[in-house]
Chains A and B, each alone.
Chain A
């Protein structure tokens, strides 16, 4: 950061000496960012704000907090459930993907090569497809249970009940884990071997190498991965709907669909949406604050 500032300063002075006209410092960023931001503002911001607004208007057209009252009285358990499952899945995915990323970074061999290629597969499947697969894989008489019963690990009449938060988390981790691995491995590759060798030479074991060298040096990529994954999971609809559709507790997205399709009630639906937005905002604020601390520099 310091060096960049210094060089910029030098450049400015050089240009001034050469009498080159310099456009205002904000013009270039503005031009470069304009198309992207314009797209979002034109195409997304209005619908998003309209949603936000509608959450304050109930079915009879009255302005107020009624919708939120309904959410708090009836769907609060689902809000907690969504939050809990998303956080749990994100944490599990993070731990597993860091582990896998470490393995990919530090190991060698043909086995390792295969893993490096194969793990990417779930990235290329849409959630709708994954929902289908998990439905027949995780079912009480589905393939997983049949296999476990075949090896006499469980009794087929008392199968593992996975159509709940466990199955949901499994599917979430299955889908988003490889994506996280991809991002995190990228960051790990940046860390030169010399750092790892140095740590090992002062007696660090594997765990310490991971926690003292790899993770801290790669914090920014890990944070980006966690943020993107958390946001994707919180808004996910197709998979929870197919897996735990009629049960309680349900995710917020299922409740939104229910309010819309059975009651035509967009007021409560949008109010529910605002709750997911709040969840994301908490993470996003943490992220921005970290940026301020110069995480990126």
Chain B
């Protein structure tokens, strides 16, 4: 009995050691360079990295293998990338070569000087016209990042139940009163779509979008002016369904529990493509607008492969790639200026992206999240 047990034990240990060693050794030969690409966002970012960007890059650069690592959706994902890069900062060579992050990451990382200023060195910088590439949350980020795609929060609604969709925040409030519980958003915890709605509310009530998001400066006394709008927001909340997060809002739309709610346009389109949203669902941008943010490529200062990392970003921000993958495959807004993409994509696909929310509407109503300090203050105030 005892001997058999020992034998089983030893076999198990040997088997497991073999198994594990096969993973530690990895599949990379000595000459090949391994580029570690860490991305926040949803699982389709992982799929994109593993099945499209990786193979394409290796095709163009045969001595480089791309390893895509996914950290999870939302601010939590970007936070994790920040923790990792920050923990690595005293190392000579960090583990991460390229990362794809949300706006808030830039704020944390630039404060600690973790990033390489690379954007002006690469070819595709010329295609960037969006102000988001130069300033993010009020911080000067020029050169530290390249937008991969732009995402915008919009109001999604089901036309079967919403016969006269509200065109501005005022009408949203009225509609919610008439249809209690049928408008849903996640407050300020758990997802940026809810935060976007709240921020947009404050923009609407105070009318001070320019000061809060573009020019500044941060003025402590402004916080007091938000007391009344936030009280009204809490009143509004009584007529709505509070969801758990970005996904929970989409979930509720999927199950018909709500008929209208703020969503990220890229998440929305992906869900529709995955058959989880009624294909008749439409989107709109209510006046005076809702904020959006791009997802950025950044390169940590102590990457072991700066040249390859730059080439990587260059490839994904090239008009051809943007046209074929960002615009055509996912129907998202490109990170580079839309005009450069027109050559590579046909009319139909271009139209599909801008169907409900046209470029004009975007330029008028696509706002930015407030300056960092205002951002913090608003979040604190609304709690």
A interface residues with partner B (beta carbon < 8 Å): 74, 135, 139-142, 163, 241-248, 250, 254, 257-258, 260-264
Contacts and interface: CB of A to CB of B under 8 A. Distances in A.
Contact of A241 (B242, B244, B379): B244
Interface in B41-94: 74-76, 78-79, 82
A262 B251 contact: no
Interface of B: 74-76, 78-79, 82, 104, 108, 185-191, 194, 242-245, 248, 251-252, 255-257, 376, 379, 383
Tell which of A242, A246, A250, A263 has the most Cβ of chain B within 10 Å: A246
Which 4 residue pairs across A and B have the least CB separation, nearest first? A245-B244, A245-B190, A246-B186, A141-B255
Contacts of A260: 79
A250 B190 CA distance: 11
Contacts of A242: 244-245, 248
Contacts of A264: 79, 82, 108
A264 B76 CA distance: 10
A250 B251 contact: no
B76 A243 contact: no
Q: Among B185, B189, B383, which residue has the most Cβ atoms of chain A within 10 A? A: B189
A241 B383 CA distance: 17
Given A142-B255, A257-B76, A243 B244 contact: yes
B104 A262 contact: yes
Given A74-B383, A254-B189, 18 more contacts: A135-B251, A141-B255, A163-B244, A241-B190, A241-B244, A242-B244, A245-B186, A245-B190, A246-B186, A246-B189, A246-B243, A246-B245, A247-B244, A260-B79, A261-B78, A262-B379, A263-B376, A263-B379
B191 A246 contact: yes
A55 to B, nearest CB: 18
A246 B247 CA distance: 11
A244 B242 CA distance: 9
B248 A245 contact: yes
A258 B75 CA distance: 9
Given A140-B257, A245-B244, A246-B244, A262 B191 contact: no
Given A135-B251, A241-B190, A246 B242 contact: yes
A245 B245 contact: yes
Given A163-B244, A262-B104, A250 B257 contact: no
Nearest to A258: B189
Nearest to B79: A261
B75 A262 contact: yes
B189 A245 contact: yes
29 contacts: A74-B383, A135-B248, A139-B252, A139-B255, A140-B257, A141-B257, A142-B255, A163-B244, A242-B245, A245-B189, A245-B243, A245-B245, A245-B248, A246-B186, A246-B187, A246-B242, A246-B243, A246-B244, A246-B245, A246-B248, A247-B189, A247-B244, A248-B187, A254-B189, A261-B75, A261-B76, A261-B78, A264-B79, A264-B82
Contacts of B190: 241, 245-246, 254, 258
A139 B258 CA distance: 12
A248 B74 CA distance: 20
Contacts of B191: 245-246
Contacts of B75: 261-262
A250 B186 CA distance: 13
Contacts of A262: 75, 104, 379
Nearest to A250: B189
B251 to A, nearest CB: 7
A142 B82 CA distance: 37
A248 B382 CA distance: 12
B244 A244 contact: yes
Nearest to B187: A246
Contacts of B189: 245-247, 250, 254, 258
B174 to A, nearest CB: 21
Nearest to B255: A141
Contacts of B194: 246
Most chain A CB inside 10 Å of its own CB: which residue of B74, B79, B186: B79
Contacts of A74: 383
Nearest to A140: B257
B100 to A, nearest CB: 17
Contacts of A247: 187, 189, 242, 244
Nearest to A75: B383
A260 to B, nearest CB: 6
A248 B383 CA distance: 9
B269 to A, nearest CB: 22
A257 B248 CA distance: 17
A95 to B, nearest CB: 29
B115 to A, nearest CB: 16
A57 to B, nearest CB: 17
B189 to A, nearest CB: 5
